[in-house]
Amino acid sequence: MERSNITVSSLLAATLCRWELSGRRCTAVNTLRGGRVLTAAISAIDIALYDIAGKALNVPVYQLLGGKQRDFVPCFATTTAPMGPRLLDDVKLLIEKGWNVIRTVPHWPSFDEEKSIFEPRESIGPTATWLTKLRETVGNGPTIGIDYHHRLNVAEATSFCQRMPSGTLDFLEEPIRDETPEAYESLRTMTDVPFAIGEEISSKWQFLPYIERGITSFARVDVCNVGGLTEAMKVASMAEAHYIELMPHNPLGPICAAATIHLAAAVPNFAWLEVRTTPTEDSGFSDKNLFPLQPELEGSRFPVPEGPGLGIEFNEDLAVEQSFKFWEAPHPYRRDGSFTNW
């Protein structure tokens, strides 16, 4: 059997998990209830086990998930261009390169060189204005969305949507925090823009109200956060029964991308996969030296890999030589000195 790579966090979490292998299926049993960090570690173990099983059986992981529904996985691109002329240029470039699903980011004015200032209400006017211009520029063909990344409250999100003509946006991603489904239900009654929710959700139980109550139109499931492929398939089944498509969260690098591609190949209810290396963005995670074999885009889509396991290779020797690099999310402030969501 070929060796599969398991992260350090996975190995540490293994002391908290009991794995029961039965044929081609594996189940994780928690000794204690855990939050997102523990679930992320369980996800890593789950994905690694699918890789091991696929290599042992000489089949791609999607075969372990029930077989292939599609030959390629369509993706969406992101432009981080500020609201203004560059936004229009970026989107036109992406369309010329064959991308027809494009995500944008909100206006973020900064008034202090030492602090990252974000005033939610001040952002919504310029963002709505330029998104309206964007739709007028590119027409009705491309799918256009925006990721507000939990930065608004219900009133602000409602005001933002109401400042644009109906049909301007095809999806609004994570406009408010996800802890209270009732808040999203309230917002749902005040706008007709489809929601894309779920990147912070770490269990099928947390997904349940968003799916059962028709709150979200796209499930932003993250296989590296929700419990791995095993749990992601359960979320996909719940969503399928409610005519909700998956739009997976995928900013974490080649292993997450490969696992999500197999998920996307195996489920019928799939929309688009997030990809962060495009003509308008480079996340820097797709290191070809560290991952000599990894998913490769063909235009705006990934072909479904046919090799055994996940279909990736990891240079362990090179990884050992590298030091740990800590990354911390930005800490935006409002101008009154209070913190706000990143």
Tens digit of pLDDT per residue, the chain (342 long)? Answer: 333 444 433 333 333 333 333 333 444 444 456 788 899 999 999 999 999 999 999 999 999 999 999 999 999 999 999 999 999 999 999 999 999 999 999 998 764 555 688 999 999 999 999 999 999 999 999 999 999 999 999 999 999 999 999 999 999 999 999 999 999 999 999 999 999 999 999 999 999 999 999 999 999 999 999 999 999 999 999 999 999 999 999 998 999 999 999 999 999 999 999 999 999 998 887 888 999 999 999 999 999 999 999 999 999 999 899 888 888 888 888 989 898 888
Residue of 48, 51, 47 lying closest to 59 (CA atoms): 51
Going from N- to C-terminal start, the domains of the chain cover 67-306
pLDDT number for residue 287? 86
Phi, psi values for residue 80, rounded to 5°: -95, 15
Q: Which amino acid is at 286?
A: S
- CA angle in degrees (0–180, nearest 5) for 228-230-231: 75
Q: Which two tokens stand for residue 327?
A: 């990354």
Decide: 61 and 51 in contact? Cβ < 8 Å.
yes
Q: Which residues contact 289 (CB under 8 A, 6 or more apart)?
A: 315, 318
Burial class (CB in 10 A: 0-12, 13-18, 19+), 208: middle
pLDDT number for residue 256? 95
Q: How far apart are CA 305 and CA 68, in angstroms?
A: 10
Q: Which residues contact 169 (CB under 8 A, 6 or more apart)?
A: 131, 144, 145, 146, 161, 193, 194
Query: Using only C-alpha atoms, what is the Rg of the chain?
Result: 20
pLDDT number for residue 26? 41
pLDDT number for residue 2? 37
pLDDT number for residue 32? 57
- β partners of residue 297: none
Q: How far apart are CA 76 and CA 170, in angstroms?
A: 13
Q: Which residues contact 3 (CB under 8 A, 6 or more apart)?
A: none
Q: Euclidean distance between the first and final Cα of the chain, in Å?
A: 43
- β partners of residue 277: 282
- Fold designation for 67-306: TIM Barrel (3.20.20)
